[in-house]
Structures are given as C-alpha cells and as structure tokens.
Copies of this chain bind each other. A is one copy, B any other.
C-alpha cells in the first residue's frame, strides 16, 4: 500500500461538496488539501467549523482563489461540485487538467458529456491525455440508478429488446432552492408560465442516461423526446421546506422515450414530489428490461439522491486515479464500490 495519502480538493462547498468533505473525513487514507467556494459568508472559514466536526487532519479554510490553491496544494484529485451543464463546467475542468489534477464532476451533463457536448468532450479527452490525468462525471442519477445499474443488469442477458426505467422519489428532504426549481407550491398556471420560461429545472439527465445505455450496447440514440408536467396534489402536502395546497403543484413529472439506432427503445419516467406517501405513491427505483431473460428489478424505497451522489463521487476516487488518462464515463471503469477501510488499498500498485 502506498505511503502518501490521496490529496483531494473540493471545488464548490454546497450540499454536495460539503457532504463529500464530511464523508472523506470519515475515511482513512485521504487528506483534504483545499476547498474553494465563492460564497462570501463561508470564505475564510474553517471547514471543520462549518461541518461542526472535530478536526482530524490539517486545518483547511475555504478559499475563493482556486488558482493559488491549486498551485500551493497540488491536489491529486479535485471534486468539482459547482455546475449542472458541461459548458459551464468546462473552463473549470480545463483549469484543473492544466494543473495536472484528476477530476470528478457532479455536473449532470458530465455523466455522459458526449450526448450534449461532443466537441467539448473530445477536447477534454485530448487535454486529459496530454496532461496524464483522468476526468469523470458521475452522480446517483445520471450516473447510476437510471443508467449504469440497468447496463449492469443487461450483462446476464443474451438479447435486449426494451428498457423501462423509472425513479419515483421524494423531494421532502430538499431545501428551498430545489422547491423552487421543481415548482413545489406553485399554482398550475404559475407552473406552466415558469415552464415556458424554462424556470422549472426538472431532471437533467435523461439525455445522458439514454446515450450512456446506447453507447454501452454498441449503438447510438437516433431519436429522443422528453416531456415535463406538473404533479397536482389532491391533498395539502407539507415538507420541511415546501408546501403545496390541494390543487397546487407538489412536484414535476418527467418522461422520455429514446430509440437507439438498433431500434431498442428506452422509456424513462421520473416523477419527483414532496410527501408522495400522502397520495399513496411508493417511492422506488425500478428497472424492467424486456429480452432474454426478462429482468424486473425494484429498489424500495428509492436510493436517496443526496447521499447517493455524495457517496458515488467519493467512492469513484480510486477508480479514477487507477484509470488510464482521458475523459471517462461510468461504463469505462470497474464496477463502483463503497470505500471501507483505507482508500489506498483500492489503488493499483504499478
């Protein structure tokens, strides 16, 4: 086992970035060497104070100057938890590559960036190879529940005919921002106006998940359509940060149908709402794959999106360090797994 710890930095100290810091500080073999964020109220503060935990390694204070941090601390890997879209993450990833850092990005589009940004993807791949580092986008969805897990299940199939993948989750654990982005509490009219103005985020990831599935099966997506509609509640629903009264919107229902060039269709359904139980809705992740043999998988309740994303980003760190240089996706790397014990045991010795 190698002697020096994995020097990790975190860029973006919101719910995801701070959750990753907390997870890493609970594991052995890591050293957090820097954390960057632009939010004034936390710049200059100790991450241990912000996380309300006892320091168990060198002090780290939030910096707003990424370049100085990279130059001084030379992290081996940076967890980038700042964006949803590849175009906005790209300049940051470029900077990190130029500083010879491996990168794991939470940006949803980065889970399969070839889907929406093939040119930027080729550029990231070229640069990563030039500088000898690996770049990966991942998360619970896209990244696992509606794509990688389905791909894994096709491994025991001799023929695949059709995918039906759904994720029914609760928005109740989430905060104010998510409530607004998902339209919780709006009237139907307000929701529809905001939807027209593209102010309802919904789920970003169907395109990435379907393209990842197609690529893993040696094909491409030839047609793709997605739709968004309000989930209207028939009872008053209240969550810690959201409220929707009877007749108003308690979440967003999203669907997509994509078809591969080999004619295999992928159907996805992802309704997200506060307090689904009040409407008798059971949360779950479900993957049905028609073919030989037919697969019918259910995970109940659904995998928590917050913890799941934090965990998979951290758990992929050794895989990313072990990988050959370049831009990778989850289908290029070994099966993800939880880091238990010292993370350095997961590193290849070569």
Contact = CB atoms under 8 A, between A and B. Distances in A.
A338 B154 CA distance: 5
A307 interface: yes
Nearest to A161: B340
The number of chain A residues touching the other chain, given as a range, is 35 or more
B160 A338 contact: yes
A49 B335 CA distance: 39
A173 to B, nearest CB: 11
A30 to B, nearest CB: 13
Interface string A140-177: 10001100110111111111100000000000000000
Query: How many identical chains are in the complex?
Result: 2
A335 B345 contact: no
Given A296-B299, A298-B297, A330-B335, A158 B216 contact: no
B341 A310 contact: no
Contacts of A295: 299, 303
Given A155-B335, A334-B334, A300 B296 contact: yes
A262 interface: yes
Given A158-B314, A293-B304, 20 more contacts: A144-B155, A149-B152, A149-B153, A151-B335, A151-B337, A154-B315, A155-B311, A155-B336, A157-B311, A160-B340, A217-B338, A218-B340, A218-B346, A262-B340, A291-B338, A292-B307, A293-B307, A296-B299, A297-B298, A331-B335
